[in-house]
């Protein structure tokens, strides 16, 4: 059986990717990071999703040695109510330096230990938030690094990074995941960790637009706000 | 003033690199990892070296999610009394999957936060222990990744990885460091963390050969075993 490490954040994209990997026949090992996020809700949801998918999982605590990102620091302001154009053009304050580089490196270590074939990540370059480490060129460079920098890479069995959502719009992602019965009601996108999504941060806005364009109901909205706002 | 993050293990090579970076005019920020090594002696020594060099430093604890390396697991046997040919040709049991990839990724995050110019690492490909992540091709691939995957990389101020010992023999490293007054008496190379170096592991053998070829006394040997064995 093919084996994969799947980066699982508890959000909509990484949950979709987990269900894509399962659908492609991979035994999935979910890697969940506790890296000082503003809230722990997404970690709790990620664990629930891994259990629902009946996958092995690990929660890895990384004390990131940097400050200044609004994603990590509760005292800085999150961007809100930004237009799609603004989101596409400006790297926001939620940017965490080298975050995917760190996550993928630890995934690579686990994947090499498992002699796994692939690492799955939910990055996408379309409805993304302007992060440099979510672009195809970045993943190409990382695949080259894994060929050079791992024992199994040199021995002609490289680990490849799979980013199956890289060129997908949010609405397409939602359609794919819904078709695979991904448990979107368990996912959490909002940058805030309150009881209900804030509806104004970048992540909430992208999610709302995605479900609208897909013509589907968001089960999380239904659960949190009832049908009226869904 | 130019700024750098320096990976400091407490060993001879990384200490030399710290003194090279200082000599080149960099303000140095030392990154020390606590990643479940067999012993904590090298961490304590690294802290002493950073203090001696009057540098800022951080000790970052990373719970590596893998097992099986003799460098991490006290229950596995370390290689001992290997010949130079054997060391050059076989990746030993001390190999930790993707270790440098993880270390450099966290260094990249810190470097980007500091708006630093460089990351210094003490890897070398000559008297190395057969690790894939100590070769020039690997560092070239990592530099490409940092250009693609960081905000300051995209903004034309990339962080570059400097491995000034990559093509140096151990004896040359020791000559360079001695000339820069690197405090070799504080460094620790042995894979074991006992009071005195074991003298039979790969690291001890390479160190001994290096000092002999350089025609210099090892101040650590002097301190631990007295002049007779130095």
Taking the CA of residue B71 and the nearest CA in chain A, the distance in Å comes to 14
Residues of chain A with confidence (pLDDT) below 70: 64-94, 127-130, 153-154, 227-230
- pLDDT of res. A197: 94
The whole-angstrom separation of Cα A129 and Cα A122 is 13
Region of B96 on the Ramachandran plot (φ > 0 left; ψ -120 to 50 alpha; else beta): beta
Residue carrying the six token digits 């961490």: B43
At B220 the pLDDT is 94
Please give the pLDDT value at position B97.
83
Query: Which residues from A are below 8 Å from B138, CB to CB?
Result: 145, 148-149
Q: Using CA atoms, how far apart are residues B198 and B225, in angstroms rounded to an integer?
A: 11
For residue A116, give every residue at least 6 positions away whose Cβ sits within 8 Å of its Cβ, in sequence order, or none.
A3, A4, A5, A29, A110, A159
| Beta-sheet strand order (sheet of A2-7) | A56-61, A26-34, A2-7, A118-120, A160-162
User: Which of B98, B108, B145 is closest, CB to CB, to A150?
Assistant: B98
Q: Using the Cα atoms of residue A113, residue A116, residue A122 and residue A126 in order, give the sign of their dihedral.
A: positive
Residues of B in Cβ contact (< 8 Å) with A125 = none
**DSSP designation for A2:** E
Q: Where are the strands (E) in A121-224, listed by range?
A: 160-162
- Asked if B114 contacts B148 with a C-beta cutoff of 8 angstroms, the reply is no
**CB spacing of B65 vs A106 below 8 angstroms:** yes
* A-chain residues near B151 (CB < 8 A): 91, 95, 97, 132
A144: nearest CB among B66, B141, B149? B141
Contact between chains at A98 and B149 (C-beta distance less than 8 A) = yes
Give A91-147 pLDDT, tens digit per residue.
556 677 888 999 999 999 999 888 899 999 999 887 655 678 888 999 999 999 999
- Starting at the earlier edge strand, list the strands of the sheet with B2-7: B56-61, B26-34, B2-7, B118-120, B160-162
Contacts of A112 in chain B (CB under 8 A): 66, 97-98
Q: H-helix or E-strand containing B32? A: strand B26-34
Which chain A residue is nearest to residue B151, measuring alpha carbons?
A: A132
Write down the pLDDT at residue A73. 59
Tell me the three state secondary structure of residue B5.
strand
Are B65 and A60 an interchain contact pair (Cβ–Cβ within 8 Å)?
yes
Report the chain B residue with the minimal C-alpha distance to residue A108: B98
Alpha carbon of residue B197 to chain centroid: 17
Bridge partners for A28 per DSSP:
A4
Query: What is residue B13's predicted lDDT score, i.e. its pLDDT?
Result: 95
Q: Cα A185–A188–A194 angle (5° rounding)?
A: 110
Chain A residues with beta carbon closer than 8 angstroms to that of B67? 113
Mean pLDDT of chain A, nearest integer: 86
Query: Which residues on chain B are in Cβ contact (under 8 Å) with A153?
Result: 132
Taken in order A108, A114, A118, A124, is the CA torsion positive or negative?
negative
Give the pLDDT score at A105: 94
Q: Hey, are the CB atoms on A109 and B100 less than 8 Å from each other? A: no
Strands A26-34, A2-7: pairing is parallel
Class level of CATH domain A2-229: alpha beta
Which two structure tokens, joined as six digits, stand for B219? 């101040």
For the record, the structure tokens of B146 come out as 């940092």
CA B143 to chain A, closest CA, distance in angstroms equals 9
Q: Which of A96, A132, A149 sits opposite B133 (nearest CB)?
A: A149
Q: Six-digit token pair at B119?
A: 């990351």
pLDDT of residue A75: 62
Contacts of B227 (CB under 8 A, 6+ apart): B217
Partner-chain contact B63 A67, CB within 8 Å: no
Q: What is the chain B residue with the closest CA to A142?
A: B145
Angle subtended by helix axes B136-149 and A136-149, to nearest 10:
160
- Verify whether the Cβ–Cβ distance B153 to A145 is below 8 Å: no
Q: Find the CB nearest A105 among B105, B132, B153.
A: B105
Question: What pLDDT, on the 0 to 100 scale, is given for residue A230?
Answer: 42
pLDDT of residue B209: 94
Q: Rounded mean pLDDT of chain B?
A: 86
pLDDT at B158: 86
Contact A112 B66 (CB under 8 A): yes
Give, for A199, the enclosing helix (H) or strand (E). none
What is the rounded CA–CA span in Å between residue B214 and residue A110? Answer: 39
CA distance A124 to chain B (A): 14
Handedness of CA A35, A36, A39, A44 (dihedral sign): positive
Interchain contact, B98 vs A91, CB within 8 Å: no
As a whole number of angstroms, the distance between CA B60 and CA A22 comes to: 34
Ranges under pLDDT 50 in chain B: 229-230
Per residue in B41-81, pLDDT (tens digit) is 999 999 999 999 999 999 998 876 666 555 556 566 666 66
The Cα of A69 is separated from the nearest Cα of chain B by a number of Å equal to: 10
pLDDT at A129: 58
Task: Give domain limits for chain A.
Answer: 2-229
């Amino acid at each position: 059986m093919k084996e994969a490490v799947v980066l699982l954040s508890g959000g909509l994209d990484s949950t979709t990717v987990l269900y894509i990997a399962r659908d492609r026949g991979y035994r999935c090992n979910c890697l969940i990071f506790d890296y000082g996020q503003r809230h722990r809700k997404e970690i709790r949801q990620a664990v629930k999703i891994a259990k629902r998918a009946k996958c092995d999982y690990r929660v890895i605590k990384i004390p990131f040695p940097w400050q200044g990102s609004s994603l990590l620091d509760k005292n800085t302001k999150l961007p809100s109510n930004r237009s799609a154009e603004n989101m596409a053009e400006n790297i926001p304050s939620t940017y965490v330096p080298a975050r995917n580089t760190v996550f993928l490196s630890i995934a690579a270590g686990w994947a090499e230990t498992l002699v796994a074939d692939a690492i799955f990540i939910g990055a996408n370059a379309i409805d993304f938030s302007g992060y440099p480490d979510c672009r195809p060129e970045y993943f190409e460079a990382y695949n080259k690094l894994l060929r050079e920098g791992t024992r199994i890479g040199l021995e002609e069995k490289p680990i490849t990074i799979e980013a199956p959502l890289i060129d997908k719009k949010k609405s397409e992602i939602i359609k794919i995941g819904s078709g695979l019965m991904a448990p979107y009601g368990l996912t959490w996108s909002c940058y805030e960790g309150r009881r209900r999504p804030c509806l104004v941060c970048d992540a909430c806005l992208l999610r709302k637009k995605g479900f609208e364009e897909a013509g589907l109901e968001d089960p999380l909205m239904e659960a949190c706000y009832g049908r009226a706002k869904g």
